[in-house]
Structure 1
């Protein structure tokens, strides 16, 4: 698809369907939402592109860079953002992604360093090995800060959340096996039905985190900086007290 036809579609708000967009220049696009369906981009540089409120359905992004892009309230539906042949994910470094919504997407090995992820939602996404270190889910409101983010029923095994503030965020039903939460703030974070097998929580603040109904095999609370008020189910006690040198017996 040529640049002129692409820009005309943006002006009219029409969906662009089934196109290869390898030669599109994403800089200085006309104002308006970008709407793509069933398109393919390879080695695309979308850095700094104004894509807020855009909609991407069934789009394949292979080795694409969104560094510094405006993705506020943008929707990604059933998109592939992982190049399985090159084993490389997309780069969202420093992107503005407040309120962005990913549903049924493949975000494996994606990088989010410096990205603003406040109120981001990932639902039923594959994001194994994704790197969230140095990303922010915090929004300043006067003198206070608000943290928001939802990762529901996602595959986040081996993901890196080192040092990220995740207080009050929601990981319900997600697989987080061997995910790295070192030095992470997890106060009141929800992990209901999640799989935290062998997750790394060195120096993490887990005060008030909700682990009920989660798989906690290999989760060593003794390595956390604070686990005051952590909510657990009775059936989890056997797995959780082992590192304390305790054994649980039935009454």
Structure 2
């Protein structure tokens, strides 16, 4: 995980951003635990460190680390208690595409249920976890032209900007609305793999499936595709074709 600290134009406040590069064949529980504790540690430190100035730094850090670990324990418990239909676990040992399609027909996942599936797939079936992402900007715009940070207002009428850019506000708005982002989560064991991927377009309700319901797409080694080709397609911003859509319940709540 990488981290950025970006100050506002007046230098009186800042944003702390956390992001990942590609992740390959890791233990999902350890990955999410480390990510949660690290991000929580710095967020807590940003919020309360000024209140602990009279306490030695070593003690201060231990207090913050203890709280970050408590937050992870709460998250892990919440994920563990999330509902998950048994068909998702049966899916991991299904022997054909036909069986997988049957198991996933009409299925949905609660917001944190995919994390539970990743954890159980590792604990009970020995699958490792990988994640690949891609972002394609509209037109001929390059990432080097973008400011450090820019955010579209809720009504999509204005853009807040931090940093230098040669682009106009309308162009930045267009970048946010029309960029193509894909996040693909893989479970791997030997030659077996399962891929649950989503697009930002699907999360924002701008894909037509089921009246714009946020959803995952699903692929596996049983679909006659190579893992390498699927990942390359994702990197190229070309969403692999699949008939499987898995709704995400209560995502916008």
TM tier relative to shorter chain: under 0.3
* Higher relative helix content: 2
* Higher relative strand content: 2
TM value normalised by structure 2: 0.20
